Amino acid sequence: MNLKLKYAELLSNHVDLALDEIKNLIEIPPDSKMGDLAFPCFSLAKKLKNSPVKIAESISGSLEKLPLFKEVKNIGPYVNAFVDPSFIAHGILSEIAENGSGYSSQPENGKNVVVDFSSPNIAKPLAIHHLRSTMIGNSISQLYSKMGYNVIKLNYLGDWGTQFGKLIVAYNKWGSEVEGELTISKINELYVKFSKESSEDNDLNDQARNWFKKLEEGNAEAIKLWKWFKEISLIEFEKIYKKLGITFDVYGGESEHAASFLTVVEKCESLGISSISDGALIVESEDENDPPCLIRKSDGATTYEVRDIAALLDRFDKYEFVKMFYVVGQEQALHFKMLKMVVKKMGLAFSNDCEHISFGFMKFQGKSGSTREGTAILMEDVLNTSVAEVRKRISESGSKRNISEEAIQQIGIGAVVFGDLSKKRVKDSEFIWEEVTSFEGDTGPYLQYTQARCLSIVRKSNHDFMEQADFSGLTEDSEKLVLLKLNQFSEAIINSANNCEPSLLANYLLELAKFTNRFIHGGREEHSKRILQESNLPLQSARTALVHGIAIVLKEGLRLLGISSPEEM
RNA sequence: GCACCAGUAGCUCAGCUGGAUAGAGCACCUGAUUUCUAAUCAGGCGGUCAGAGGUUCAAAUCCUCUCUGGUGUACCA
């Protein structure tokens, strides 16, 4: 139910503004004691040549009574409305009960959205800085499918480039020293060793560039090794994605577009937007402050930029997307700016639909870990530690409940994911072990706990509460706050999706959970206030339905963040 | 040098795109438990919204400058 719209309709007969304008002015007061909706009268003051307070008085005095609004009065320059919870409860709760997890979902619109996320480099283990792209991208994908889009989740692997030349050199030189089976961490060790040695021996870098050139030319030995490194890496990645419950629709890779780079080069040349500089082919930037975009190296090899452009052209051919999201760290902002710039110069309108969804650094003890230096914090370790902490906590609490292994996994992993997604993307975030393994307050486990608590009440209610409920009994403030919050679910989703900002949804869920715990907690202080102790069955049923609705919204909201929630914990 | 991003309580962060007395969580202090799940709830402590100007009825929010931190700056990706 769109309460802002209803309120705007009520006001529209007495305010000389278009319905939409009124609706956009309506806000939610900072304190619910002041009302549930507020219409500020400042902007009318000039037009009416009267003080905002007087205008508010006159409007509130002339409004007709609607059952939806218990009371409308002015507080200073605001016209504030108090919603009658019993009037909205039936609509909201039956909508949730009927749709279940589909509550607030929008019908399919057939439009394609491509989300490029996670996209790790082959031959390096997944570290915490990959967590952000992976989790943010996954959540954006869930949000857009909730909004009715057809989402293509694309894992665009960094599987091409000079680094493979380096690896091949390293493997040929020191590979025989590796003991046992070659794993991703052993590959990484070779890479680390190469980095160290090559800083003193420039010849190694030349060899590496040479091997990469060979790889691009289709040299059999190079390709064989490259394929092998890739296979080993993918097996490792899949293990983590499975833990996180993430799947991809398409695995792509830069390597696929290395060949088609010629198309890009030709197009740039024929359009006359490129030029030769120091032997390399470049496209000049529009902004004088930016460097040019390198399309082809002076030795004829491809660049990251040209491969990405070729990949983008290919994606549009395949999917005709309405949105193309690149979920990649902010350090690559310039790269995506140049990518868009070149594609725009190529005369392709879809350059406007491409968006770089950037995010800040993940740091550990003030530094961003580096796989090259071997100081990275591995994603697997983080997840395992958090899960272990949950297990420890449960055994120490001496709880009688038997908590399943599945639930322990969900809680441990949920804590890590929520910790990351509850903050705005742009912020750099400091990785603190104690914080990851803290499960109190504004955390994922808090939301899961709230949800489990609600489900427990629903489970114990042994009758058809939707059938027997009398929603007009829901008159308490604590009930109203929860109801209004449930009603805002779709707004939270839309906001979150439009801004590609999962933290907005995360914060919405925290508020919902807070109101919920307050509401339910009344039953702890006074036994008679417990929902299932209520002797008036229609009222008890209405409250149970409310709790049921909360559980559904919390579970669905968490799912949109990529977090699964246990039935019991 | 230039460009982009950030700066709000001791710490981690919100602040609904310009509105009411700047809010949460953690930490610290006090209280509630033979739990419809205490991974909870109630209360206390804690602020020069980096600084200075400006725009207007109204600025943490918009503009300008300064300071601090981070990132990027063509043949790595």
The ipTM, to two decimals, is: 0.96
Please report the domains of chain A, with CATH numbers, ordered by start residue. 3-83 (3.30.1360.70), 386-560 (1.10.730.10)
Is the CB of residue A246 inside 7 Å of nucleic acid strand B?
no
What pLDDT is stored for residue A369 in this prediction?
64
The tens digit of pLDDT for each residue in A402-439 reads: 899 999 999 999 999 999 999 999 998 878 888 888 89
Q: Is the CB of A368 under 7 A from strand B?
A: yes
* pLDDT value, residue A90: 94
Q: Is the pTM of this model over 0.90?
A: yes
Q: Is the CB of A10 under 7 A from strand B?
A: no
Distance of CA A266 to the CA centre of its chain: 38
DSSP state for residue A101 in the 8-state scheme: G
Any strand B atom closer than 7 Å to A53 CB: no
Q: Does the nearest atom of strand B lie within 7 Å of A160's Cβ?
A: yes
What span, in angstroms and rounded, lies between the C-alpha atoms of A14 and A23? 14
Closest CA to A509 of A423, A441, A439, A447: A447
Longest dimension (CA), chain A: 88
* C1' of B48 to CA of A137 (Å): 39
pLDDT confidence of A123, banded at 50, 70, 90?
Answer: confident
Retrieve residue A551's tokens: 């559980």
pLDDT given for residue A205 in this prediction: 84
Q: Is the CB of A332 under 7 A from strand B?
A: yes
Task: Residue A374: name the closest of A118, A127, A119 by CA.
Answer: A127
**Out of A31-45, A189-203, A253-267, least confident range:** A189-203
CA A361 → C1' B20, Å? Answer: 37
Distances in Å between the Cα of A80 and the Cα atoms of A16, A37, A390, A478 are 18, 6, 45, 19
Rounded CA gap, A306 and A312, in Å?
10
Q: pLDDT at residue A363 above 80?
A: no
Q: Residue A372's pLDDT is what?
A: 62
Q: What is the pLDDT of residues A429-478, one digit of tens each?
A: 878 888 888 899 999 999 999 999 999 999 999 889 999 999 999 988 89
Residue A368 has pLDDT above 70, yes or no: no
How sure is the predictor about A375, in pLDDT bands with cuts at 50, 70 and 90? low
Protein CA A148 to sugar C1' B15 (Å):
30
Higher pLDDT, A393 or A179: A393
Segment A23-40 mean pLDDT: 92
Q: Which of residues 470-529 of A touch strand B (CB under 7 A)?
A: 495, 499, 503-504, 507, 510, 513-514, 517-518, 520-525, 527, 529
**Nearest nucleotide relative to A429: CA against C1':** B12
Q: What are phi and psi of A126, to 5 degrees?
A: -70, 120
- Quick one: DSSP state of residue A496? H
State what percent of residues in chain A have pLDDT above 70.
98
**Average pLDDT over every residue of A489-514:** 97
pLDDT band at A192 (very low <50, low <70, confident <90, very high): confident
The answer to whether A425 and A136 have CB atoms below 8 angstroms apart is yes
